[in-house]
C-alpha cells in the first residue's frame, strides 16, 4: 500500500481544504447579498416621490457643517451629566441591592424599602420621573443653586437607573454558588464579611457586561433632561431646527450619539463573549 495519510498536494488535510472552500463560499454569498441590498436602497429610495424634500430637510450638508461644532460642544454637557450620574448610580444601586438581601428581622424595613423602590422606579417611565422631580422639587421654591434642573434632572436619572442596576447586582449576588458562602461561614466569617469579601467582589465582576448595557442606555437617556431645561445636544438641535427650518441638526445629534454608543456596545458584547468563553 502507498502512504495512507489524507495529506493532499497543498499540505492541508481533506478537512482543512473542505473548511477553506466552505468559508470562501460563505464570504462570497455574504458580500454579494450585502452589496445587492445597498444598491437597491441607493437606487430605489430616491425614486420615492418625497425624496427630494426629505433630502433637503434631513441631509443638508451645509447645515450639517454649520451646526456640527456647536452640537458637539452641547454633547459635552451630556457627557458631563453621564459622568457624574454613572458612579452615583453604581453606588446607590449597590446599597439597594444589599438592602434587598438583608435577612435580619430588625432590618426588615430596609428590605421592604428596597423592594418598593425597585418596583416603583422600574414601573414608571423615565421621562415621567424626570418631569415630576425636575419640575416638582424646584417648585418648592428652593434658593439657588438648589433649584437647578441639572441637580434634579440628574437625581431623576440616578433614582430610575439605580432600580435597574440594583436588580442586575442582585442577579449577580444570587448567581454566586451557596458553596462559596458556606466556605466563608465555615471559616467563622460573619454574614456581612462573607457578603463584602466573598460574594460581592465575584458578583460585581460577573455583571459588568450587563451594567455596560445600562451605561449605554443611560448615555442616551441623558437627552431626556432637555425637557426640563438644560441645553444639551437634543435641545440645541431643536434650537437649530427652529432657527434654520431644517431637521439636519437632529441627524447630526444622532451621528454624535452613535459615535459613542456603537463602540461602547461592541465593547460590551466583547466582554460578554469573553466571560462566556471563561465559563465554558
Partner 1 sequence: MPKLVLQNIRKSFGANAVLNGIDLTVEDGEMVCLIGASGSGKSTLLRTINLLDPLDDGEIFLDGADIADPELDPQPIRQRIGMVFQSYNLFPHMTAEENVMLAPRRIKNRTREDLHPEIAALFEKFGLADRMQHYPDQLSGGQQQRVAIVRALAMRPEIMLFDEITSALDPELVGEVLDVLRALKAQGMTMILATHEMQFAREAADKVCFLEAGRILEEGAPQDVLANPREERTRAFLSRVL
Q: Are 248 and 62 in contact (CB under 8 A)?
A: no
Please tell me whether residue 190 binds partner 1 under the rule CB under 8 A. yes
Q: How far apart are CA 73 and CA 61, in angstroms?
A: 19
Q: Are 71 and 233 in contact (CB under 8 A)?
A: yes
Nearer to partner 1, 183 or 273 (CB): 183
Nearer to partner 1, 193 or 269 (CB): 193
Nearer to partner 1, 41 or 183 (CB): 183
Q: Give one DSSP letter per residue of 197-236, joined into a string.
A: IIIHHHHHHHTHHHHHHHHHHHHHHGGGGGGGS---HHHH
| Closest separation in Å from C-beta 167 to partner 1 | 22
| Closest separation in Å from C-beta 12 to partner 1 | 35
Q: Which stretch binds partner 1 (CB under 8 A): 34-42, 75-83, 190-198, 237-245?
A: 190-198
Nearer to partner 1, 151 or 189 (CB): 189
DSSP state of 47: G
Nearer to partner 1, 59 or 197 (CB): 197
Please tell me whether residue 105 binds partner 1 under the rule CB under 8 A. no
Residue among 164, 85, 167 at smallest CA distance from 124: 164
Q: Are 35 and 42 in contact (CB under 8 A)?
A: no
Q: How far apart are CA 110 and CA 101, in angstroms?
A: 9
| Closest separation in Å from C-beta 92 to partner 1 | 24
- CA 60, 62, 67, 72 dihedral sign is positive
Please tell me whether residue 84 binds partner 1 under the rule CB under 8 A. no
Q: How far apart are CA 275 and CA 130, in angstroms?
A: 35
| Closest separation in Å from C-beta 46 to partner 1 | 57
User: Judged by CB under 8 A, which of 189, 208, 239, 244 binds partner 1?
Assistant: 189
Restricting to residues 152-181, name those near partner 1 by CB under 8 A. 179-180
| Closest separation in Å from C-beta 26 to partner 1 | 35
Nearer to partner 1, 40 or 192 (CB): 192
Strands (E), the chain: none
| Closest separation in Å from C-beta 169 to partner 1 | 16
| Closest separation in Å from C-beta 181 to partner 1 | 9
Please tell me whether residue 107 binds partner 1 under the rule CB under 8 A. no
Q: How far apart are CA 9 and CA 167, in angstroms?
A: 59
Task: Give burial (CB, 10 Å; 0-12/13-18/19+) of 32.
Answer: exposed
Q: Are 197 and 184 in contact (CB under 8 A)?
A: yes
Restricting to residues 191-220, name those near partner 1 by CB under 8 A. 193, 197-198, 201-202, 205
| Closest separation in Å from C-beta 195 to partner 1 | 12
Q: Which stretch binds partner 1 (CB under 8 A): 140-148, 183-191, 219-227, 235-243?
A: 183-191
Contacting residues toward partner 1, per CB under 8 A:
179-180, 182-190, 193, 197-198, 201-202, 205
Amino acid at each position: 500500500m502507498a502512504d495512507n495519510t489524507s495529506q493532499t498536494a497543498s499540505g492541508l488535510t481533506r478537512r482543512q481544504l473542505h473548511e477553506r472552500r466552505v468559508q470562501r463560499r460563505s464570504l462570497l454569498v455574504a458580500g454579494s447579498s450585502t452589496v445587492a441590498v445597498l444598491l437597491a436602497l441607493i437606487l430605489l429610495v430616491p425614486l420615492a416621490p418625497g425624496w427630494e424634500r426629505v433630502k433637503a430637510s434631513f441631509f443638508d450638508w451645509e447645515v450639517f457643517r454649520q451646526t456640527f461644532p456647536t452640537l458637539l460642544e452641547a454633547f459635552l454637557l451630556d457627557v458631563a451629566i453621564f459622568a457624574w450620574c454613572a458612579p452615583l448610580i453604581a453606588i446607590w444601586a449597590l446599597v439597594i441591592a444589599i438592602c434587598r438581601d438583608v435577612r435580619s428581622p430588625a432590618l426588615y424595613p430596609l428590605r421592604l424599602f428596597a423592594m418598593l423602590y425597585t418596583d416603583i422606579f422600574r414601573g414608571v417611565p423615565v421621562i415621567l420621573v424626570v418631569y415630576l422631580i425636575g419640575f416638582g422639587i424646584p417648585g418648592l421654591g428652593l434658593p439657588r443653586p438648589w433649584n437647578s434642573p441639572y441637580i434634579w434632572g440628574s437625581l431623576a436619572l440616578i433614582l430610575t437607573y439605580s432600580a435597574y442596576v440594583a436588580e442586575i447586582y442582585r442577579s449577580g449576588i444570587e448567581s454566586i454558588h451557596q458553596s462559596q458562602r458556606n466556605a466563608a461561614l465555615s471559616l467563622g466569617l460573619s454574614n456581612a464579611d462573607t457578603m463584602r469579601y466573598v460574594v460581592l467582589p465575584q458578583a460585581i465582576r460577573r455583571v459588568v457586561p450587563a451594567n455596560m448595557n445600562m451605561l449605554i442606555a443611560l448615555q442616551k437617556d441623558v437627552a431626556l433632561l432637555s425637557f426640563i431645561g438644560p441645553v444639551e445636544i437634543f435641545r440645541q438641535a431643536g434650537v437649530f431646527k427652529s432657527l434654520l427650518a431644517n431637521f439636519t441638526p437632529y441627524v447630526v445629534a444622532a451621528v454624535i450619539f452613535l459615535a459613542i454608543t456603537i463602540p461602547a456596545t461592541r465593547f460590551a458584547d466583547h466582554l460578554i463573549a469573553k466571560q462566556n468563553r471563561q465559563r465554558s
